[in-house]
Amino acid sequence: MNRLSQLAAVTTLAAFFASEARLNSQEAAPVRKSPQELLAALKASNAELLQKQQKTLQKLDELKLQAEQLRIMAKRS
């Protein structure tokens, strides 16, 4: 191994250990949530989804109204 490749290997190892990278064997076990916590999370995500759907429906209603107005204006021309 020449001097440049040795320096590159040492630099790579130093960067790896300085980055605090965790190995798979070092990973902490996932924290289990209680059924109540899971239910609360599901309810929150469902509420958020319902809000997005409501906004989408409002936009669709607005587009439908604008399309009807365009049809009326096109007939008058």
pTM of model > 0.75? no
Question: DSSP 3-state helix, strand, coil percentages of the chain (rounded to 5)?
Answer: 80, 0, 20
> Within 13 Å, how many C-alpha atoms sit on residue 13's CB side?
6
Say whether 28 sits in a helix, a strand or coil: coil
* Radius of gyration, CA atoms only, the chain: 30
Q: What is the pLDDT of residues 66-75, one digit of tens each?
A: 999 999 889 8
The end-to-end CA distance of the chain, in Å, is 84
Query: pLDDT per residue over 12-59, tens digit each?
Result: 766 666 666 566 665 666 778 899 999 999 999 999 999 999 999 999
